């Protein structure tokens, strides 16, 4: 089938370049325009994905060419994005950073696999024309990678912005946005030892979205960015039919709360495809274990909820008793 899907990859020169802030602001602005957005994160990743899904109003899926074959990743992307108006994928690390010196499993490699144009977020703190040289190098380093433009981050003021913008345009690189000094991503989204605080632990969602919208309106050329997404070429792809869901009476409980939130949607869907009914349980507020045949406890931040978890003795006792009776329990490590 032929798919003409508008799509972009938001990448950076390094980690902490501002990719997540830009991606969230873009998602908020796109949704304000009434666009149906599909959201992806170059994985493996849990916390950035949770934020992207929360602001995008949809399930964010990880695309990981290390954990899955490239054609599986490609099919997953286009199947999940089918029916959306635009797909946004946030990269990780630097654009060309991968497993080895060839950049295997890099954001650039994933962008080529999906034939998606890249918008590069560049931290321009304490430099001007050199930023244009760095971006020019990215554009020519792997010529088959399509660089649709740049978004400047940590711009110091009007003169700083003017000099860098003119330098970029002299090199033929469109500037699609300019962000001032926000104090790092943690100034927008609170951070801690493993990165960002998950959205399940962050209150004031309406005010946060309002802040993202203000950032997008003041700092990003949304229409130009959407034009880059719409310039992505059509692709021919065969999407195999999904197997029919099995019919069983199996019930699997899983902890889903601010303490345990690290789940890939594909794992939940795989269990459902096999006929299981997934029942969400709060390890913090639920006092009893529901009638289930097994228990799935994903990763998260139990260490930051130690007091609440340890005080829920009733549920802990029921989980222990179920384990001693032989109930299958799959538990991942937390965020330690």
The string of pLDDT tens digits covering residues 315-324 is: 999 999 999 9
Exposed/middle/buried for residue 124 (C-beta within 10 Å: 0-12, 13-18, 19+): buried
Instruction: Answer yes or no: 178 catalytic.
Output: no
* The pLDDT value given to residue 25: 97
Instruction: Dump pLDDT digits (tens) for 219-275.
Output: 999 999 999 999 999 999 888 787 888 889 999 999 999 899 999 999 999 999 999
* The pLDDT value given to residue 161: 96
Catalytic pick among 60, 138, 178, 333: 333
* The pLDDT value given to residue 52: 96
Measured on CA atoms in the order 72, 78, 79, 81, is the torsion positive or negative? positive
Exposed/middle/buried for residue 16 (C-beta within 10 Å: 0-12, 13-18, 19+): middle
Tell me: pLDDT of 79 over 80: yes
The C-alpha atoms of residue 79 and residue 267 are separated, in whole angstroms, by 17
Q: Identify the band that residue 185 occupies on the pLDDT scale cut at 50, 70 and 90.
A: very low
The C-alpha atoms of residue 212 and residue 55 are separated, in whole angstroms, by 9
The C-alpha atoms of residue 165 and residue 96 are separated, in whole angstroms, by 23
Instruction: Dump pLDDT digits (tens) for 125-160.
Output: 999 999 999 999 999 999 999 999 999 999 999 999
Tell me: pLDDT of 194 over 60: no
Q: Identify the band that residue 199 occupies on the pLDDT scale cut at 50, 70 and 90.
A: confident
Percent of the chain with pLDDT over 70: 93
Nearest to 19 by CA among 40, 44, 2: 40
Instruction: Dump pLDDT digits (tens) for 7-54.
Output: 999 999 998 899 999 999 999 999 999 999 999 999 888 889 999 999
* The pLDDT value given to residue 203: 67
pTM (2 d.p.): 0.90
Mean pLDDT of the chain, nearest integer: 92
Q: What DSSP line would sit under 207-263, residue for residue?
A: HHHHHHHHHHHHHB-HHHHHHHHHTSPPEE---PPPPPPP----EEEEE-SSSEEE-
């Amino acid at each position: 089938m032929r798919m003409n899907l508008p799509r972009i990859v938001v990448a950076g020169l390094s980690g902490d370049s501002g990719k997540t802030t830009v991606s969230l602001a873009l998602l908020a602005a796109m949704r304000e325009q009434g666009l149906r957005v599909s959201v992806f994160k170059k994985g493996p990743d849990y916390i950035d994905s949770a934020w992207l899904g929360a602001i995008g109003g949809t399930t964010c899926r990880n695309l990981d060419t290390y954990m899955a074959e490239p054609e599986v990743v490609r099919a997953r992307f286009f199947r999940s994005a089918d029916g959306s108006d635009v797909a946004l994928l946030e990269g990780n690390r630097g654009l060309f950073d991968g497993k080895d010196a060839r950049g295997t499993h890099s954001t650039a490699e994933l962008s080529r696999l999906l034939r998606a144009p890249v918008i590069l977020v560049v931290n321009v703190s304490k430099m001007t024309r050199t930023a244009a040289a760095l971006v020019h190098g990215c554009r020519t380093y792997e010529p088959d990678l399509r660089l649709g433009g740049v978004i400047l981050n940590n711009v110091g003021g009007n003169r700083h912005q003017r000099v860098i913008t003119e330098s970029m345009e002299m090199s033929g690189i469109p500037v699609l946005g300019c962000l001032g000094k926000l104090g790092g991503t943690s100034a927008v989204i609170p951070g801690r030892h493993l990165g960002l605080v998950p959205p399940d632990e962050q209150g004031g969602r309406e005010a946060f979205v309002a802040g993202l919208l203000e950032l997008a309106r003041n700092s990003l050329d949304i229409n130009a960015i959407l034009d880059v997404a719409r310039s992505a070429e059509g692709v021919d792809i065969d999407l195999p039919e999904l197997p029919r869901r099995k019919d069983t009476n199996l019930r699997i409980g899983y902890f889903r709360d601010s303490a345990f939130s690290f789940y890939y949607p594909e794992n939940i869907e795989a269990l459902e495809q096999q006929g299981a009914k997934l029942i969400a349980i709060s390890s913090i507020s639920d006092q009893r274990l529901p009638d289930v045949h097994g228990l799935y406890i994903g990763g998260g931040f139990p260490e930051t909820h130690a007091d609440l978890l340890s005080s829920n003795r009733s549920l802990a006792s029921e989980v222990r008793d179920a384990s001693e009776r032989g109930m299958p329990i799959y538990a991942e490590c937390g965020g330690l």
